[in-house]
Amino acid sequence: MNNISELFWQASLQDIKKGFLQQADEFICLICGRSFLDGVIYPSDGQLYEAKKIIHIHVQQEHKSTFHFLLNLDKKLTGLTDHQKTILELFFDGNGDNEVAKAIGSNSTSTIRNHRFSLREKQKQAKIFLAIMELLGERVPKKSSFIEIPRNTKMVDDRFAITEEDSKKILGAYFKQGLHGPLELYPLKEKKRVVILRHLIKSFDVDKTYAEKEVNEILKKYYSDYVLLRRNLIDYGFMERTQDGSLYWVKL
């Protein structure tokens, strides 16, 4: 299993652990993408729940737990062997060393202690690597192929062809208080994002070069996650910037 949405990779570690995040007035499952609107009451097993509660119930009922979803991702994503996954699941279910040893057919609990040590070392390595990559993302080297981490260049081509009528419908749906903002929700579908980005780029003067802070100030008026908007304007080719990320301008 390795079909993970873009929203998942944008989520914080805490949101990934919960299995969902909140965007504007919507709670979105990071596993399947189902969303629940804040202020709406949802039924479940004869009971009624608010969106913040039903999203927890949804993750448990539909996906067992975030732990099990993550554990069963492809080895390329987890870096775990099938044997390690089995041991982790046994520990998660509350088994002690003796029970785990019996379950995997081992006669010695020392083997399980060795596995514990190996997994703790893996956890330490993961923390250090995460810190390294976050620091790299914060300080973009001038002589490096890294622009931002992660980085996915998109091409706005015929796949995103859309009529003027459809464009107006999309903008009306996501700018409910008017085209000057704020943006109610930043959609997952790329075509809708492109429509929104085409609108946002109109806020920038084609003859001006902007500092990153200036770009942020303009985008803040539209959406709280202005960093995501800024990245997408670059990713989809609406803006360009210097290699060190200090200056931005509209791509003609």
Q: What is the pLDDT of residues 133-189, one digit of tens each?
A: 878 766 654 444 443 433 444 555 555 567 888 888 889 989 988 888 888 888 888
- The residue that leads in pLDDT, 144 or 73, is 73
Spatial contact of 174 and 183, defined as CB atoms under 8 Å apart: yes
Query: Tell me: the pLDDT tens digits for 80-105?
Result: 999 999 999 999 999 999 999 999 99
| pTM of this prediction exceeds 0.75 | no
Q: Strand, helix or coil at 62?
A: helix
Helix boundaries (H) for the chain: 6-10, 13-18, 51-63, 66-71, 75-78, 82-92, 97-103, 109-138, 164-174, 190-200, 212-220, 226-235
Instruction: Return the CATH fold of 158-250.
Output: Arc Repressor Mutant, subunit A (1.10.10)
Residue 230: burial class (beta carbons within 10 Å; 0-12, 13-18, 19+): buried
What pLDDT does residue 148 have? 40
Please report the pLDDT score of residue 3 as a whole number.
Answer: 60
Domain with CATH 1.10.10 in the chain: 158-250
240 phi/psi in degrees, rounded to 5: -125, 165
Residue 149 DSSP one-character state = S
Q: Is the pLDDT of residue 7 over 80?
A: no
The token duo for 190 is 């790329």
